[in-house]
């Protein structure tokens, strides 16, 4: 009853005092996120899809979903993984994997600043890294990570995108051949190992390759960040389960008061690799490349990597004690401070790069962990943020000397001063925030303006849709001293990390069409004159064109049961936003969608005699509904000649019955 | 008379509404601090008005060949070389029916033509498929004209 009385009086108060802080926030929040019709958002936000294995693109501040980019999972919308051209992209050393789990986005940087070229994302389950072009918004390359399991601390980058990183979440037995031998699970401490891999990236083309791997003690590597500025040569990784438990980790990996942040000098590693100090390891991993000129992907299995062992190479890896089961491991824009977020810790420790260098020089070690020197906590610590909240996970930066840390257990974002280690503001999130994202937050020059909370629990924030609910993001204004909630927006999949980038760095480079002149697909038809149907044994190739609103050919005869038919459809359009689709009844391989100037192939194995219709699935013009055709399928061994046409008056060949 | 007045009133109302909604949109846009202005024009061959064209005889044979190649890739799907209409009109006689400048703009600047040119609008009513922007440069369009002239019997 008391509550019932109190509520109207609060409302009344708010109504009467338009200038109190709460109503002021609500008053202009709508205006701050409203993007008028015909206007564009200020930022692209590139968001991982979590268990859907893809990447999605949102506009900020509106929170509008612009696109889902298929990466590690089949995608019915665009035929990703269904068309003959894209099938190789999902290939791995285990064969095709149709669905993975994508966690973290890393946008390419030059001199530590966003350059708008590529987005990288990790495949968590079957360890992989994908590179996405920010001019086509397509996945151009996927590389499998050998000697790895649970590629979680990935694909974070060095400052000039020299390397993307892959670290094992799950250690597992590795013997001298670096294979996974048949040993007891209980032998974790003796046999299990972890690795971190440095995936080299070509400056011009972006092509990836496994440059080298570092063999490490069996613990769980969780997250990582590259150094910047003075710490450019270093990479930092959070490590948990230093208890080396192999069962009930919830309890058994939460025993120690401190786990580690690992500091790794990758420049030194490079020198050792050059000096031939690495050991060749026989492995097997898939390297898949999509070629924009042939509109086709290839998958090659590669067989060798170079492994460095820090037990022998003493000055490449150091552990720093960090309370307690650290998750986030984030480097501030100056490169001086490294923030560890212990999931179970009551403080946020901030490490100083200057002190780390001094501690290493002074050999200020408290001991060794499995052959790796452990630096003294006090020798490397800048300080601790005391009682910041419960369950710190991740930290981003605004470039004005403040850090913003997400707290899962207490559902809040806490803003604090990096130098003074003082909390200056906190806002609730709804509910249980995981990652958070400030545009440019992990770069040398954050763009600031907003922080976005990616929440793990949505509960009552949206209209319910049964037991499965949408995921939820929240946008806060951070331009003033106090954070202000502006917007809730639903997200697809389960976003983990996201990076936002000013539209001005991406939009001008966006590709509108694929030039038909540059199409080097082996089955392209550059114009209707080149369209044809031909037979190679039991394979029938249909080099087909589509343009508003007809196919060439649209009548095909002479296909027989037992044939495999390949429809290589070239979209002859050269105008923006005029895709054509292609679908044929009974195709076990679904459909395809073809962008202007592109060629895509659908494989169809007819399973019965008769005349079968095909049609365009993308509404293309006023006569879209007329965009259709027929294939006649004759019995095995019949003598129906192979013919094709569009626009010819029918000359009956072979009446029925 | 009554009918005319009503129409006039309706037209006025439309005009008023149009003004109001435009102003509102502008105001809203001004107020909104976050979003960027509409996209900067992207580098594109399409969409610049062609203002003059020079024709010479005899025809340039190399241009005719290039024009024919472009025709086969980008135009043939909808235009026959006879006077038969397919998706769009056949090309036989097109250089006699239309000013070359009109053709150039139809090929390279179709959005503008469909917005402003009554003849182009009439064609859309007949064909009901917007002539696609086939990303043809002005140079290439000029070569297509040469091929059209050849098709129309010019030497």
**Per-residue pLDDT reduced to its tens digit, A210-260:** 999 999 999 999 999 999 999 999 999 999 999 999 999 999 999 999 999
Mutate which: A34, A476, A502, A530, vs B, most B CBs within 10 A: A34
Task: Write phi, then psi, for A260 (nearest 5 degrees).
Answer: -135, 150
CB pairs under 8 A between A and B: 105
Confirm or reject contact between A646 and chain B (CB < 8 A): no
Question: In the prediction, which pLDDT does B49 show?
Answer: 84
Question: In the prediction, which pLDDT does B47 show?
Answer: 66
The residue written with tokens 């290493």 in the block is: A360
**pLDDT of A117 strictly over 70:** yes
Task: Please state whether beta strands A326-331 and A317-322 pair in parallel, antiparallel, or not at all (unpaired).
Answer: unpaired
Query: What is the value of pTM for the model shown?
Result: 0.89
Backbone region of residue B138 per phi and psi (left: phi > 0; alpha: psi in -120 to 50; beta: other values) = alpha
Selected residue with higher pLDDT from A22 and B151: B151
Average pLDDT, rounded, for chain A: 93
**pLDDT of A15 strictly over 80:** no
Collect all residues of chain A within an 8 Å Cβ-Cβ radius of residue B35: 35-36, 39-42, 61-62
In this structure, are residues A594 and A519 in contact, taking their beta carbons and an 8 Å threshold? no
Q: ipTM, 2 decimals?
A: 0.75
**pLDDT of A480 strictly over 90:** yes
Range B81-95 average pLDDT: 94
- Min CA distance, A277 vs chain B (Å)? 49
Q: Which fold has domain B61-151?
A: Cytochrome Bc1 Complex; Chain D, domain 2 (1.10.760)
DSSP class per residue in A572-596: ---STT--EEEEETT-TT--EEE-T
Cα–Cα distance, A532 to A543 (Å, whole number): 5
Say yes or no for a CB contact (<8 Å) between B38 and A549. no
Ranges of each domain in chain B: 61-151
Range B11-34 average pLDDT: 40
**pLDDT of A158 strictly over 90:** yes
DSSP symbol at A259: E
In this structure, are residues A644 and A553 in contact, taking their beta carbons and an 8 Å threshold? yes
Mutate which: B24, B135, B144, B147, vs A, most A CBs within 10 A: B135
3-state secondary structure of A267: helix
Say yes or no for a CB contact (<8 Å) between B77 and A507. no
88-127 of B, contacting A, C-beta below 8 A:
none
Q: How confident is the model at residue A622 (pLDDT cuts 50, 70, 90)?
A: confident
Nearest residue to A349 (alpha-carbon basis) of A374, A389, A381, A375: A381
Chain segment A81-116, per-residue pLDDT in tens: 999 999 999 999 999 999 999 999 999 999 999 999
- How many residues belong to chain B? 155
Collect all residues of chain B within an 8 Å Cβ-Cβ radius of residue A621: 128-130
Mutate which: B34, B72, B90, vs A, most A CBs within 10 A: B34
Question: In the prediction, which pLDDT does A651 show?
Answer: 53
Collect all residues of chain A within an 8 Å Cβ-Cβ radius of residue B131: none
In this structure, are residues A210 and A199 in contact, taking their beta carbons and an 8 Å threshold? yes
Question: In the prediction, which pLDDT does A621 show?
Answer: 87
**pLDDT of B43 strictly over 50:** no
Question: In the prediction, which pLDDT does B51 show?
Answer: 87
Confirm or reject contact between A511 and chain B (CB < 8 A): no
Cα–Cα distance, A325 to B135 (Å, whole number): 57
In this structure, are residues A74 and A500 in contact, taking their beta carbons and an 8 Å threshold? no
Question: In the prediction, which pLDDT does A7 show?
Answer: 39
**pLDDT of A426 strictly over 80:** yes
Cα–Cα distance, A320 to A259 (Å, whole number): 8
DSSP class per residue in A436-499: EE-TTTTSSS---SEEEEEES--TTSS--BTBS--EEEEEEE-SSSS-EEEEEEEESS----EE
**pLDDT of A21 strictly over 60:** no
Collect all residues of chain B within an 8 Å Cβ-Cβ radius of residue A545: 77
Collect all residues of chain B within an 8 Å Cβ-Cβ radius of residue A515: 135
Range A338-348 average pLDDT: 92
Cα–Cα distance, A558 to A551 (Å, whole number): 18
Say yes or no for a CB contact (<8 Å) between B42 and A510. yes
Question: In the prediction, which pLDDT does A590 show?
Answer: 87
Chain segment A358-407, per-residue pLDDT in tens: 999 999 999 999 999 999 999 999 999 999 999 999 999 999 999 999 99
**How much of chain A, in percent, has pLDDT values that exceed 90?**
90
Cα–Cα distance, B133 to B46 (Å, whole number): 7
Say yes or no for a CB contact (<8 Å) between B133 and A574. yes
Average pLDDT, rounded, for chain B: 78
Please, what are the domains in chain A? 41-509 (2.130.10.10), 516-645 (2.60.40.420)
């Amino acid at each position: 009853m008391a509550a019932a009385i109190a509520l109207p009086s609060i409302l009344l108060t708010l109504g009467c005092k338009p200038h109190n802080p709460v109503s002021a926030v609500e008053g202009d929040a709508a205006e701050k996120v409203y993007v008028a019709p015909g206007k564009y958002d200020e930022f692209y936000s590139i968001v991982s899809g979590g268990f859907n294995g893809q990447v999605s693109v949102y506009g900020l501040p509106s929170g509008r979903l612009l696109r889902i980019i298929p990466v590690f999972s089949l995608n019915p919308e665009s035929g990703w993984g269904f068309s003959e051209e894209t099938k190789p992209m999902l290939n791995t050393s285990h064969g095709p994997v149709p669905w993975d789990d994508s966690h973290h986005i890393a946008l390419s940087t030059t001199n530590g600043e966003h350059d708008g070229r590529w987005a990288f994302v990790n495949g968590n389950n079957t360890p992989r890294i994908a590179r996405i072009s920010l001019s086509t918004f397509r996945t151009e390359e996927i590389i499998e990570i050998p000697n790895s399991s649970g590629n979680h601390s990935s694909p974070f980058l060095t400052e000039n995108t020299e390397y993307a990183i892959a670290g094992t979440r799950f250690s597992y037995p590795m013997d001298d051949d670096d294979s996974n031998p048949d040993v007891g699970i209980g032998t974790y401490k003796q046999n299990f190992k972890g690795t971190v891999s440095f995936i080299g990236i070509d400056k011009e083309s972006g092509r990836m390759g496994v440059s080298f791997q570092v063999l490490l003690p069996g613990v769980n590597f969780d997250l990582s960040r590259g150094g910047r500025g003075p710490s450019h040569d270093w990479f930092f990784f959070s490590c948990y389960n230093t208890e080396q438990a192999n069962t009930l980790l919830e309890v058994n990996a939460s025993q120690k008061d401190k786990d580690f942040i690992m500091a790794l000098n990758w420049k030194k590693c490079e020198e050792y690799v050059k000096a031939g100090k690495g050991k060749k390891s026989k492995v097997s991993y898939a390297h898949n490349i999509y070629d924009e000129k042939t509109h086709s992907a290839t998958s090659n299995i590669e067989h060798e990597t170079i492994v460095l062992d820090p037990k022998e190479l003493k000055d490449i890896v150091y552990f720093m004690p960090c309370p307690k089961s650290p998750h986030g491991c984030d480097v501030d824009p100056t490169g001086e401070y490294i923030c560890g977020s212990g999931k179970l810790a009551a403080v946020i420790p901030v490490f100083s790069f200057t002190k780390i260098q001094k501690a290493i020089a002074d050999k200020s070690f408290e001991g060794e962990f499995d052959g790796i020197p452990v630096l003294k906590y006090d020798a490397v610590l800048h300080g601790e943020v005391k009682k910041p909240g419960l369950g710190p996970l991740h930290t981003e930066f605004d470039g004005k000397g403040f850090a913003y840390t997400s707290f899962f257990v207490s559902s809040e974002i806490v803003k604090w001063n990096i130098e003074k280690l003082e909390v200056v503001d906190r806002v609730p999130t709804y509910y249980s925030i995981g990652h958070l994202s400030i545009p440019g937050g992990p770069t040398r020059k954050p763009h600031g303006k907003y922080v976005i909370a990616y929440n793990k629990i949505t509960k009552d924030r949206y209209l319910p849709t049964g037991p499965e609910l949408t995921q939820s993001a929240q946008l806060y204004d951070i331009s003033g001293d106090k954070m202000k909630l502006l917007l809730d927006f639903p997200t697809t999949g389960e976003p983990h990390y996201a990076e936002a980038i000013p539209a001005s760095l991406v939009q001008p480079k966006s590709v509108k069409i694929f030039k038909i002149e540059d199409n080097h697909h082996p089955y392209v038809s550059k114009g209707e004159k080149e369209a044809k149907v031909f037979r190679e044994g039991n394979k029938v190739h249909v080099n087909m064109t589509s343009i508003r609103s007809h196919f060439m050919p649209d009548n095909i005869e002479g296909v027989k049961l037992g044939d495999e038919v390949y429809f290589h459809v070239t979209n002859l359009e050269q105008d923006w936003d005029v895709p054509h689709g292609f679908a044929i009844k009974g195709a076990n391989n679904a459909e395809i969608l073809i962008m202007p100037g592109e060629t895509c192939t659908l494989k169809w194995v007819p399973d019965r005699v008769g005349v079968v219709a095909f049609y365009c699935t993308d509404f293309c013009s006023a006569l879209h509904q007329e965009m259709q055709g027929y294939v006649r399928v004759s019995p095995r061994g019949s003598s129906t000649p192979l013919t094709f046409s569009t626009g010819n008056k029918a000359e009956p060949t072979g009446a029925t019955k | 008379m009554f009918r005319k007045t009503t129409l006039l009133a309706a037209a006025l109302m439309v005009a008023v509404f149009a003004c109001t909604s435009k102003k509102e949109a502008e105001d809203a846009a001004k107020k909104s601090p976050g979003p960027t202005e509409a996209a900067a024009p992207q580098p594109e061959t399409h969409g610049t008005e062609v203002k003059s064209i020079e024709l010479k005889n005899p025809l340039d044979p190399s241009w005719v060949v290039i024009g024919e190649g472009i025709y086969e890739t980008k135009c043939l799907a909808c235009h026959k070389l006879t006077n038969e209409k397919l998706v769009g009109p056949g090309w036989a006689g097109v250089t006699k029916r239309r000013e070359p400048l009109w053709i150039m703009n139809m090929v390279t600047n179709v959005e503008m033509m469909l917005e402003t040119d009554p003849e182009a609008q009439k064609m859309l009513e007949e064909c009901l498929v917007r002539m696609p922007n086939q990303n043809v440069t002005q140079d290439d369009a000029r070569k297509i004209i040469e091929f059209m002239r050849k098709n129309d019997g010019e030497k």
